[in-house]
Amino acid sequence: MVAIKNTWNFFGSSALTVCILLAVVLDFEIGFFFFRSHPSVFAPLDRLMLFEWLRTYGLESITVTWWFFVLLFLLFILTLNTVVCTVDSVAALIKRREKFSGSRAFVLKFAPHVMHVAFVLLLLGYFTSYATGFNLFNNILKQGIVMKVPHSDLQLSLENLKVKFYKNEDAPLPDFAGKARDVIADILIIDPANNTFKHGVKKKISINMPAFYQGISFHLKNFYPQNETNKGVPYVNLIIRKDPGIRIMAGGIILFTIGLVMYLFQTTHFNLRKKRIKGTSHDCSNATVSAESAERVKNLQEKEKDL
């Protein structure tokens, strides 16, 4: 029990928090140098998942990527430190419940702890997405060809591709005439496990309008034709992503916003209360001074009568 208590106290110490944060800043400074000098090693992070990148580029270029492994370790320790500190602070706050004047003041004291929990959820969401999701680039989908979505049983087909082109009269510049101005692709998602839609689910996607299906998103990166003079089979270039941690991250963002509003309300309430107390003490002081002045005037008047 003593060893467990000492370990708990170590991970919950504020000194550890300061040391970890300084180490993270220093590690980022070192990592920035390697990141800029070896872009070919770190660029694949945009398209590979975390574990896949660690197994390949990370381990193969360990002399360049060691700082990234250190960063993951530091973030893990920082998360433990945040959890332990939050549990200790919340437990201490609950024990002092009766010392608060009202329930509102008591609830508002939880504001920083709510933000700490949100921080943990954000890290957990990012880790979940990068560890169990996927990010697939250059998925060429042509009309008449069915493509299997990697890491799933889904199948895709391009049903229709509607491309609007600039006309001479509405082109913002002469060079824009005949070039694509807007595109909408109709894709058919075939899911063998979904008996409700045996013939597939139709979705529309555009440049800024991805399609979503069972946690997988389909983003339009490129398309063909992009000019009225282009001839050939129409196709779309898709980015297929799966973000299982997106809901956890969304929950973390919402929770952080709630904690921030609570903290701002608590600070504003405290400042207003402080001003009221100062104003009351100032009025009391003025009243005391006025009473003393009145007493002095009265004494002088009595002395004049005696004379």
- Residue 41: what pLDDT? 93
- How far apart (Å, rounded) are the C-alpha atoms in residues 164 and 228? 9
The answer on pLDDT for 232 being more than 50 is: yes
How far, in Å, are 91, 120, 153 from residue 115 at the CA level? 16, 9, 39
- How far apart (Å, rounded) are the C-alpha atoms in residues 91 and 30? 38
Query: 149 or 300, which is more confident?
Result: 149
Query: 125 or 194, which is more confident?
Result: 125
- Residue 307: what pLDDT? 37
Lowest mean pLDDT among 58-62, 115-119, 228-232: 228-232
The answer on pLDDT for 137 being more than 90 is: no
The answer on pLDDT for 143 being more than 70 is: yes
- Residue 69: what pLDDT? 95
Give the whole-number percent of the chain exceeding pLDDT 90. 43
The answer on pLDDT for 205 being more than 90 is: yes
196 — pLDDT class (breaks 50, 70, 90): low
Structure tokens at 109: 């004291």
Q: Taking the chain, what is the end-to-end CA distance rounded to the nearest angstrom?
A: 87
193 — pLDDT class (breaks 50, 70, 90): confident
Contact 260, 115 (CB under 8 A): yes
Structure tokens at 42: 């770190």
* Amino acid present at 280: T
Please state the length of the chain: 307
User: From 1.10.510, 2.60.98, 1.10.8, 1.25.40, which CATH number describes the 138-242 domain?
Assistant: 2.60.98
Query: What would the pLDDT profile of 76-129 be if each residue is shown by its tens digit?
Result: 999 999 999 999 999 998 888 888 777 888 888 899 999 999 999 999 998 888
The residues near 201 (Cβ < 8 Å, ≥ 6 apart) are 188, 189, 191, 194, 213
Query: What would the pLDDT profile of 250-307 be if each residue is shown by its tens digit?
Result: 999 999 999 999 988 888 877 776 666 665 555 555 545 455 555 654 554 454 444 3
Averaged pLDDT, 216-229: 90
- Residue 305: what pLDDT? 43
In 3D space, the residue among 132, 137, 83 whose CA is nearest the CA of residue 245 turns out to be 132
Question: What angle, rounded to 10 degrees, do the helices at 14-37 and 62-95 form?
Answer: 150
Averaged pLDDT, 151-161: 89
Averaged pLDDT, 233-247: 90
Q: What residues does each domain of the chain span? A: 8-133+248-267, 138-242
- Residue 115: what pLDDT? 93
Alpha helices in the chain (DSSP H): 2-11, 14-37, 39-42, 50-53, 59-60, 62-95, 103-108, 111-132, 246-306
> For the chain, what is the mean pLDDT?
84
How far, in Å, are 72, 196, 276, 289 from residue 285 at the CA level? 59, 79, 14, 6
**117-156: string of b/e by CB count within 10 Å (b at 16+)?**
bbbbbbbbbbbbbbeebbbeeebebbeeeebebeebebeb
Query: What would the pLDDT profile of 40-51 be if each residue is shown by its tens digit?
Result: 999 888 778 888
